[in-house]
């Protein structure tokens, strides 16, 4: 993992014989590409204050660790396995991808690929199926990050002969012995992860960083929606923006609300309705502005506004349109 | 007798670091990496046994090294080789193959001469167990 060949910036290398006496921190950070990645993290992700500051801390530690190594000081390769806990759609997968980039930039993983798996990818159907399956995934993840979503499904407390246990044991072994070869990130919903760690203390102790993802506030969700629209080349009209504020407040009280993901789905459906509205009147000249603007009617047509209050036996679903 | 087959075989045995780099080179070229083993290193024996399936979708050679360690643990007393197979059109063949493990006592080969009709002489290479092992 820690291969410290000064890949692209020869000025970092210093003399071959004696370590350099001073280090230009800015240059070091930029050479590793973390300034850029951290800036992206800051701008492309709304909110998530605690997460961002943790990621920043880890990046700083790794940067200093790398410089200490080169200065010939005592340095121990840090344990980098992490767990991300938080409700659906709070950005765990998104941050994991960024994390891989940071680790790769600093040379703590050699390739920087992210292999994202769930129980089905690791656990087999019959005796002798699990070990090869888990190893196959581990081999692919070597040199990068293994992201295990909803990790608690690996452990089935009601069935002690469950094959999940076998996968857990192989994972634990590799997490301990091949720390230089891969970084494991476990993700899942808060409470169930706590239970999972309680019944698998081996995992808990091998994980250095437990990061919690808070739910978004209404204001943050609005910012996220505007960011998403901007990325897709749209924007709200003043009335539409106001309508969407109401939409968020209503949607949050309804079942199966999943933070930013619900917002993303809402944005996609709003685009559909906007297109439909434009196409329904074929006898007019479209202006660029028409193509870019989301009207309040596009938002208000959503079923969220007509839905009866939650708990009245409606079929609840993420399809809520 | 020190077996010389495949690439690098006239050099000292590769270290694990060197093997890692060769495997990484294969992966970077998109070749499928195979681990094979045998107890019959006769040059005419082209059919070595495979350890697991070819590995073609790895990013890093550490995965191959993990399998190699496992293979050595089980078949440390045999010859093990790593090969890289290039499946791209026009090649479709093994591009590199090198030994990564040999038994502590290596066998040797005897050249056998046979005189047949019409003063014709035929030769054959016969695999013999290592001299040290035989009394
Ligand atoms: N802070 C944010 N700013 C902008 N977009 C965000 C933010 N958080 C999440 N998103 C967007 O929300 C969507 C869902 O996020 P993501 O898949 O990372 O959630 P998750 O926590 O992994 O959810 P799950 O636990 O259900 O897998 C993505 O499209 C992502 O781009
Ligand atoms: Mg996810």
A202 Cα to the center of ligand 2, angstroms: 23
What pTM was computed for the model?
A: 0.80
* Predicted confidence (pLDDT) per residue in A1-31, tens digit: 434 444 444 444 444 456 667 888 888 888 8
Which chain B residues are Cβ-neighbours of A110 within 8 angstroms? 60, 62
Contact A59, A39 (CB under 8 A): no
Structure tokens at B49: 């046994």
**Which of A135, A144, A178 comes nearest B59 by C-beta?**
A144
Structure tokens at B34: 């195979």
Instruction: Please give the average per-residue pLDDT across B56-71, as a whole number.
Output: 95
Q: pLDDT-based confidence at A75, cuts 50/70/90?
A: confident
Counting Cα atoms < 13 Å in the Cβ hemisphere of A249 gives 6
Q: Does residue A259 surpass a pLDDT of 80?
A: yes
C-alpha A281/C-alpha A272 separation (Å) is: 15
Specify the pairing of strand B79-86 against strand B32-38: antiparallel
Does residue A176 belong to the interface with chain B, where contact is any CB pair within 8 Å?
no
Q: Does residue B132 surpass a pLDDT of 80?
A: no
- What residue's CA is closest to ligand 1, atom 9? A91
Counting Cα atoms < 13 Å in the Cβ hemisphere of B57 gives 7
Closest chain B C-alpha to A298 CA, distance in angstroms: 45
Which chain B residues are Cβ-neighbours of A111 within 8 angstroms? 59-60
Using alpha carbons, select from A85, A84, A74, A78 the residue that is nearest to residue A59: A78
Q: For chain A, how long is the longest CA-to-CA vector? A: 77
Tell me the average pLDDT of chain A: 85
Which chain A residues are Cβ-neighbours of B63 within 8 angstroms? 138-140, 142
* Predicted confidence (pLDDT) per residue in A205-258, tens digit: 999 899 999 999 999 999 999 999 999 999 999 999 999 999 999 999 988 899
DSSP E strands, A173-263? 183-188, 209-213, 235-236
Closest chain A C-alpha to B47 CA, distance in angstroms: 24
Residue of A nearest to B62 (CA): A142
Instruction: Please give the average per-residue pLDDT across A50-60, as a whole number.
Output: 88
* Predicted confidence (pLDDT) per residue in A119-135, tens digit: 999 999 999 999 999 99
C-alpha A109/C-alpha B103 separation (Å) is: 34
Distance, C-alpha A288 to centroid of its chain? 35
**Which of B55, B57, B59 comes nearest A143 by C-beta?**
B59
* Predicted confidence (pLDDT) per residue in B79-113, tens digit: 999 999 999 999 999 999 999 999 999 999 999 99
Residue of B nearest to A140 (CA): B58
Q: Determine the number of helices (DSSP H) and then strands (DSSP E) in chain A.
A: 15, 7
Which chain B residues are Cβ-neighbours of A182 within 8 angstroms? 62
CB neighbours of B26 closer than 8 A, spacing ≥ 6?
A: B33, B84, B95, B96
Counting Cα atoms < 13 Å in the Cβ hemisphere of B86 gives 13
Using alpha carbons, select from A135, A111, A85 the residue that is nearest to residue A183: A111
A142–B59: do the CB atoms touch at under 8 Å? yes
Residue A147: nearest ligand to its CA? Answer: 2
**Which of A135, A140, A178 comes nearest B59 by C-beta?**
A140
Torsion over CA: A96, A100, A106, A109 (sign):
positive
* Predicted confidence (pLDDT) per residue in A156-178, tens digit: 888 878 899 999 999 999 999 99
B59–A178: do the CB atoms touch at under 8 Å? no
Q: Does residue A137 surpass a pLDDT of 70?
A: yes
Atom index in ligand 1 nearest the CA of residue A90 equals 21
Q: Which residue has the higher pLDDT, A151 or B131?
A: A151
C-alpha A63/C-alpha A51 separation (Å) is: 18
Tell me the average pLDDT of chain B: 93
C-alpha A94/C-alpha A114 separation (Å) is: 11
**Phi/psi at A50 (nearest 5 deg)?**
-60, -35
Specify the pairing of strand A209-213 against strand A114-117: unpaired
């Amino acid at each position: 993992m820690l291969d410290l060949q000064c890949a692209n910036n020869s000025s970092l290398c210093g003399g071959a014989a004696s370590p350099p006496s001073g280090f230009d921190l800015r240059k070091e950070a930029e050479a590793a590409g973390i300034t850029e990645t951290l800036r992206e993290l800051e701008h492309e992700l709304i909110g998530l204050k605690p997460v961002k500051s943790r990621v920043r801390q880890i990046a700083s530690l790794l940067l200093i660790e790398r410089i200490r190594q080169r200065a010939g000081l005592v340095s121990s390769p840090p344990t980098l396995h992490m767990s991300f806990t938080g409700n659906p759609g709070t950005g765990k997968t998104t941050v994991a991808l960024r994390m891989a980039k940071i680790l790769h930039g600093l040379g703590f993983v050699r390739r920087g690929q992210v292999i994202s798996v769930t129980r089905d990818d690791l656990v087999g159907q019959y005796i002798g199926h699990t070990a090869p399956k888990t190893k196959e995934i581990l081999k692919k993840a070597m040199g990068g990050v293994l992201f295990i979503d909803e990790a608690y499904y690996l452990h089935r407390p009601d069935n002690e002969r469950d094959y999940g246990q076998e996968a857990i044991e192989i994972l634990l072994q590799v997490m301990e012995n091949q720390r230089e070869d891969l970084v494991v990130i476990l993700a899942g919903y808060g409470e169930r992860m706590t239970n999972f760690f309680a019944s698998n203390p081996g995992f808990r102790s091998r994980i250095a960083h437990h990061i919690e993802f808070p739910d978004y506030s209404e204001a943050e969700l609005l910012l996220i929606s505007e960011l998403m629209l901007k990325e897709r080349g749209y924007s709200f009209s003043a009335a539409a923006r106001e309508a969407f504020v109401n939409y968020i407040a209503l949607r949050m009280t309804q079942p199966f609300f999943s933070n930013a993901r619900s917002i993303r789905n809402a944005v996609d459906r709003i685009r559909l309705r906007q297109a439909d509205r434009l196409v329904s009147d074929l006898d007019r000249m479209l202006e660029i502005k028409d193509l870019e603007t989301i009207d309040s009617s596009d938002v208000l047509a959503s079923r969220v506004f007509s839905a009866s209050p939650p708990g009245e036996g409606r079929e609840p679903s993420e399809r809520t349109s | 007798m020190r077996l010389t087959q495949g690439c690098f075989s006239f050099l000292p045995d590769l270290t694990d670091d060197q093997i890692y780099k060769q495997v990484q080179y294969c992966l970077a070229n998109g070749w499928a990496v195979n681990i094979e083993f045998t107890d019959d290193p006769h040059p005419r024996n082209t059919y070595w046994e495979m350890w697991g399936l070819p590995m073609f979708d790895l990013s890093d050679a550490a995965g191959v090294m993990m399998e190699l360690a496992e293979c050595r643990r089980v078949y440390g007393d045999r010859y093990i080789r790593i090969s890289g197979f290039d499946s791209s059109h026009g090649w479709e063949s093994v591009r590199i193959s090198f030994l990564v493990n040999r038994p502590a006592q290596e066998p040797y080969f005897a050249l056998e001469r046979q005189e047949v009709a019409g003063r014709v002489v035929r030769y054959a290479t016969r695999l013999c167990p290592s001299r040290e092992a035989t009394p």
